[in-house]
Chain A
Amino acid sequence: NAGVTQTPKFRVLKTGQSMTLLCAQDMNHEYMYWYRQDPGMGLRLIHYSVGEGTTAKGEVPDGYNVSRLKKQNFLLGLESAAPSQTSVYFCASSYRLAGTGRETQYFGPGTRLLVL
Chain B
Amino acid sequence: DSGVTQTPKHLITATGQRVTLRCSPRSGDLSVYWYQQSLDQGLQFLIQYYNGEERAKGNILERFSAQQFPDLHSELNLSSLELGDSALYFCASSATGGGYEQYFGPGTRLTVT
A pairs with B: no
